[in-house]
Chains A and B, each alone.
Chain A
Amino acid sequence: MTSETSTSIPTPPASSPPGKTYTGLDTSAVPLWRGLLRWESALVVVFLGVLVMGASNSSTFLDGSNFFFIGVNEGEVAIMALPLLLIVMTGEMDLSVASMLGLSGTVMGYLFQNGWSIWPAMLAALVVGALGGALNGFLVAGLGLPSIAVTIGSLTLFRGIAEILLAPKIVTGFPISLTNIGVIPISGTELSYSAGIFLVMALTVGIVLHATPLGRSIIAIGLQPEAAKFSGIRVNRIKFSLYVFSGVVCSFAGILFALKNSSVSYDAGLGLELDVVAVVLFGGVSIFGGRGTVIGVVLSAVTFGTLLQALTQMGVQAEVQKIITGVLLLLSLVLPRMGLVIAGLRDRATQPAKPAQPIQPVQSA
């Protein structure tokens, strides 16, 4: 990618001259052509490559109905990636997303099975999502605990509660008018309902992140939490709200997931957190926070879904798809860092006296 010089790769905010605002990649300092060499443009190329690959294998790959199935298969993952994008932007992590998806579907199915009608059961699932998110948010923002550890714990806890409620049963029999979202696109389009909801949500999140004070605050928190706090940003309140948002959205994704499969079991979406994390990081969002775009995540989700669909149609086994997901995740982690690594090695080779520090803060007068 754009990793040959240190100007185009993420550097800590210490290296920026004071009084300059951060806009993801610092495009003002680099020539225009280099601005095009962004992660997002690379994703477009990859996406086109995947389309060519799929189309050359099957003549119906570019049909509208195929895109409907991509949306059905990947819609929930894409939806969950949006709140995770915001959380990762603040430098935190949420690994409990897929467990919340499972728990929410389980709550809905459990209540439905016990005679509730479907709409109140959905509402209850959303409330559970908000509560679960609030638990994560309280532990991370309120008590200041490391989010990775907290959400490994809640990943286990949420899945465990789902298991207590429902295992080993499977609930079916949801109203057909609702389970139809798994087979019928939004009328007049080839979009699945989940894909349509994702696009609307992505637009909203994009506006919030890139064009509102709240969005700038989220970016500021990720770049430098201390500085954000001292400049009056309510760091903890924002983080808490983001976890609640994530809980509600994942629980909503759980409802969609249950309806499209027209069945609920406690282990729905087991292990899906990897896909969600992979989509976010493959979208160019920095795991260290502060850098990333909604358009990147949208491109990543679309590319990811199309790739899996193409592989499935080429008869590639699910195991290989798993391996590819893992490799993609590793690449999107390691590639942006390679510039730093190479720079560090060069530093060490040319100036042996200097301590091996890949990033040298620029002291501005």
Chain B
Amino acid sequence: MRSILLVAFNTFREAVRDRVLYNLIVFALLLIGASFLVGQISIGIERQVLISLGLTAISLFGVVIAVFIGVGLVSKEIEKRTIYTVLTRPVRRWQFIVGKFFGLFGTLVVNTFFMAIGFFAALALQAHRLQWADGWLVVALWFIVLEFVIITALALLFSSFSTPLESAVFAFVLFIIGTFSEDLREFAQAAHGLTRIVASGAAYLVPNLAALNVVGRVAHDQALPPSLIFYNTIYAALYATAAVAAAVLIFERRDMK
């Protein structure tokens, strides 16, 4: 157990010192600033625009960061052979993978925190105050974090067996498909025969990012049902667990060529 924490902390430390990370956060903050300005132009819906574009910016940049770091773990470490001297110590391979995951998760929470601060600052600036409805924005941000957790776990999974480039591509593709997972499920329901079976399988295997996307709703200050918060949190935990378990299975067997 201690090994897991050690790996996690080291992963966090290594990720946090990577300069590219800061660049991406800066970009996200710039985009939030831009949405603030755009909002000023569209009379009457400044708040909506700020929330829609701001949260979308955080979500997209966060996914880029998640994939970027997630792929950097394992994949880059194997390529650069950094991993040789770690794995030959009394750490089990599965502990290494699990530790990596938690380190990355910590990194993403910290990232989102900084981006969220920028976001709420812009919001307060626009409205000159914070209001109750802003509480739902926190939920939206939490869902975005859950999105990151899932994408990270997937990036880690792909890293355990493919090259950095392949892993990044796979993770992004799954992100996009996951956003449309609802449509995929509807399509599966309307299909017949073999298509239906294959589509259903895919539809439930693909991450359910559609349910985590509440930007439209919170932009209109609509309430979110508590059960949704509960289900989504559990879902993200389960999905990430599945992905990490799969990563462990693959990684335990992999030859470090």
- A and B physically associate: no
B interface list, Cβ under 8 A from A:
none
A interface list, Cβ under 8 A from B:
none
